[in-house]
Amino acid sequence: MNKKKIAIFTTIIYVIVLGSGLYLYSWFVGNKVNEVEKLLVSLISQIIAVACVVYIINKYYGWKNIGFRKIKLKSIIWFFPYIVIIVPMIYEFIIHICKNITSFSVSTWAVLFITFIGASSVGFSEEAIFRGIYLESFKSEKTVIRPMIISYLGFSIFHIVNLFVGNSFAQVFITIIVSSLLGFSFIALAIKLESIWLNIIFHTTWNFILISSQTLNFSVSKTSGFISEVNILVGSILWLMIIKKDKIERKKSFITNENKKTTV
């Protein structure tokens, strides 16, 4: 099985496992099951999904090949807009926690812990698949743009999985649009940074704070409202830079090949 087929197979397995957990979670919601029990069911599916992704990475790719490399400090400047967004979110979330900590029950702490593990699982899996496995599987000696587009489209379409939660088509469509903007920017960041660590950290923290804040009825920092604009700005700049560099390298490659033909 070639890597392109492995990437598609990985996505299918991930959707089936994660979708099954989301469907069961939705079913339990309708039957008024305890919140911790609902989250545990969803978490189990996420852990199984992570196990599948880890197995595939170990067997077919290798961690460094899909972006688990050291972060280049000089490249972090491109992630600065996301740091500006996430730091106030973390700060306000901690403030809310501290103000309400005395009223937290064991169940509340359990929900927070399970939510964090779930957010970590999703952040790791989605970045490893769409910004790691996809780039490695569809890479080409001719251009980097093609695998970037495939990764972008794959990540966007993947969010149809939210139908399993019972969301309407309109809600899923909005989710796909918002997710596509993140995918548009994050695939370019993965190329520029040559690492997906920062993507995973942001993805995990973002999901954890949004889900936990909704569960605990906390307000989220207003900086979160600028995420789409940041995705468009950072993504557009980096895509243009990558496209320009890609064209230059292809031109150099063409000239080199022509010189070789002339020499022969």
User: What residue segments make up the domains of the chain, in order of their start?
Assistant: 3-263
Going by the DSSP 8-state scheme, the letter that residue 164 receives in this structure is G
**68 phi and psi, to 5 degrees?**
-85, 70
The residue with tokens 């702490």 is 109
Query: Would you call 71 exposed, middle or buried from its count of C-beta atoms within 10 A (0-12, 13-18, 19+)?
Result: middle
pLDDT for 13 = 92
What's the pLDDT tens digit per position in 56-106? 999 999 999 999 999 888 888 999 999 999 999 999 999 999 999 999 988
Give which of 53, 13, 16 is closest to 161, Cα–Cα.
Answer: 16
- Cα separations in angstroms, 119 against 23, 42, 101, 129: 17, 11, 21, 15
Task: Read off the pTM.
Answer: 0.90
Kindly tell me the number of DSSP H helices and DSSP E strands found in the chain: 9, 0
Residue ranges of the alpha helices (H) in the chain?
3-30, 35-56, 80-100, 106-128, 134-137, 145-158, 169-193, 197-216, 227-263
Average pLDDT of every residue of the chain: 88
Query: Would you call 54 exposed, middle or buried from its count of C-beta atoms within 10 A (0-12, 13-18, 19+)?
Result: middle
By three-state DSSP, how is residue 114 classified?
helix
Report the C-alpha gap between 122 and 170 in whole angstroms: 23
Query: Would you call 129 exposed, middle or buried from its count of C-beta atoms within 10 A (0-12, 13-18, 19+)?
Result: buried
What's the pLDDT tens digit per position in 105-164? 888 898 899 899 989 999 999 999 999 999 999 987 778 899 999 999 999 888 887 776
Rg of the chain over Cα atoms, rounded to whole angstroms, equals 20
Q: Give yes or no for a contact between 103 and 214, defined as CB atoms under 8 angstroms apart.
A: no
Report the C-alpha gap between 262 and 259 in whole angstroms: 5
